[in-house]
Structure 1
Amino acid sequence: MAYKFTDNYREKGARKRLTELLKKKGIEDEQVLKAINKVPRHYFFDETFWAQAYKDIAFPIGAGQTISQPYTVAYQTQLLHIKRGDKVLEIGTGSGYQTCILLELGAKVYTIERQQALYERTVQVLPYMGYKPEFFLGDGSKGIADHAPYDKIIVTAGAPTVPDLLLKQLAVGGIMVIPVGNEHEQKMVTVLKVAENDYERVMFDTFRFVPLVGDKAW
């Protein structure tokens, strides 16, 4: 499939303004802000809706899913404390926007998506943009055990609890960031794996994500 994306001064200016807004809203990690400023978010939108791409809002992308609000993407990413070379498992590829932010930070990303239509689009669009994660189609609630352990795990859908299977795939010293709550709102939670069966959990702000779907989810 051929894509004809453009990224001119108008879009670049809009990204800069978005980055400045996120900084005002409390995002402090300069590397995360640089990544937001670099990834062309409008590439994930139908051209009809490009005017919405740099607003700090979530937006429908089909299959009952959304591209997350930029503030949410930046917030979750900041909590991960990504270091270059980190092996990261992303549960819920969705549009692929969060994936690109992680790759910009130098992570090695393994990303899994349950919805085939979304999966098929990201495996075409992201390489076109120059981003090459390891793509998987399947049940994200089970993780990707064959490539574990992971330094970081990010879950981009709301779950009622932290799935045990994902905790097992987290390396000792690793961090998981996951929204936990009911189907209407969740608290962002970080889980630090301090030993093989010892975890430290910290609860942060309230967000609203689409539900995590899978055998080990709701």
Structure 2
Amino acid sequence: MKNTSKHEGLRNQLAKQLEEKGILDKRVLEAIKLIPRHLFLDSSFEDFAYQDKAFPIAANQTISQPYTVAFQTQLLQVKTGDKILEIGTGSGYQTAVLVAMGAKVYSVERQNELFKTTKALLPKLNIHPKFLSFGDGYKGLPDYAPFDSIIVTAGAPIIPKALMAQLKIGGRLVIPLGKDKQIMTMLIRKNETQFEKHEFGECRFVPLLENKN
């Protein structure tokens, strides 16, 4: 599992590209520079790993475009020590970015093949989320709630009520909302019953499926 100075140079270029596209959170850009994205991809994609593109991974899923990872992360306004719930561990790349920013990450993946692969990979890269779970993302992780923020990395037709309930007051939930194409949506929890909604334009994600286990 090589991580060379050439890879580092490519990551620096990618971070510069993302900054030009509007990612201004320095801590997000530093995490992008740090995490070896090529190690989260099939080796046949290694030469393309630092292009700003999504790529297929196991179980008919994808590793998100770096811009999307950075944009969703920027919306969360991550602070060191934040307790973050991630719905859709996938390749583990988004998980790694959050961990690199000092977050305590609790992540749920519904595809068993991906869950096993990613759970084995992350410790090899010295990336240690607090908790990885195989399960239904629609249900979240009520035993570990409440969370400072929640990030959903798959397209959902609705915002799962369980996730809203697991968000701290003042917390942020970032989710791609819609069926065929999605709108990147952020909810900020104002109090027990009220949420403030913000929308950030169209995006495309694989669907968030429920009751698969």
Instruction: Report the TM-score, using the length of structure 2 for normalisation.
Output: 0.97
Aligned to 2:166: 169
Aligned equivalents of 1:132, 1:37: Cα separation in 2: 18
Structure 1 residue runs of 4 or more that deviate by more than 3 Å after TM superposition: none
How many corresponding residue pairs? 211
| 8 Å contact kept, 1:19–1:36 | yes
Compute the displacement of 1:187 (Å).
0.7
**Residue among 135, 138, 143 paired with 1:141:** 138
Alignment partner of 1:119 is 2:125: no
Q: 1:179 aligns with which of 161, 176, 184?
A: 176
How far, CA to CA, are the matches of 2:140 and 2:36 in structure 1? 28
Aligned equivalents of 1:155 and 1:46: distance in 2? 23
* Aligned pairs (5 A) from 1:31-180: 31-133=27-129, 134-180=131-177
Listed as ranges, the gaps of 5+ residues in structure 2 are none
Q: RMSD across aligned C-alpha pairs, in angstroms?
A: 1.0
- The CA distance in 2 between the partners of 1:38 and 1:82, in whole Å, is 16
Whole-angstrom distance in 1 between the partners of 2:98 and 2:57: 20
Q: Is the 8 A contact 1:142 1:215 kept in 2?
A: no
Gaps of 5+ in 1: none
For residues 191 and 162 of structure 2, the distance between their equivalents in structure 1, rounded to whole angstroms, comes to 16
Q: Secondary structure at the match of 2:113?
A: helix
Match for 1:201 among 184, 187, 197?
A: 197
C-alpha distance in 1 between matches for 2:141 and 2:7: 35
Q: Which amino acid aligns with 1:140?
A: G
Q: Report the Cα distance in structure 2 between the residues aligned to 1:97 and 1:164, rounded to whole angstroms.
A: 26
Q: After superposition, what is the alpha-carbon deviation per residue over 1:144-198, rounded to whole angstroms, capped at 9, x for unaligned?
A: 111000000000000111111100000111100000012x211111100010111
Q: Retained in 2: the 8 A contact 1:90–1:153?
A: yes
C-alpha distance in 1 between matches for 2:42 and 2:9: 20
- Assess if the C-alpha contact under 8 Å between 1:85 and 1:106 holds in 2: yes
Identity of aligned residues (%): 51
Q: Does the CA-based 8 Å contact 1:154-1:176 persist in structure 2? A: yes
Q: Per-residue deviation at 1:215?
A: 4.0
8 Å CA contact retained: 1:93, 1:113: yes
Write the distance in 2 (CA, Å) between the matches of 1:192 and 1:186. Answer: 19
Matched residues in 2 for 1:25 and 1:164: separation?
33
CA–CA separation in structure 1 for the residues paired with 2:52 and 2:201: 17
Q: Which residue identity does 1:198 align to in structure 2?
A: Q
CA distance, structure 2, for counterparts of residue 205 and residue 80 of structure 1: 16
1:8 is displaced (CA, Å) by 0.8
Counterpart CA distance in 2 for 1:202 and 1:49 is 35
CA–CA separation in structure 2 for the residues paired with 1:122 and 1:109: 14
User: Paired residue for 1:25, among 21, 27, 48?
Assistant: 21
SS at match of 1:195: coil
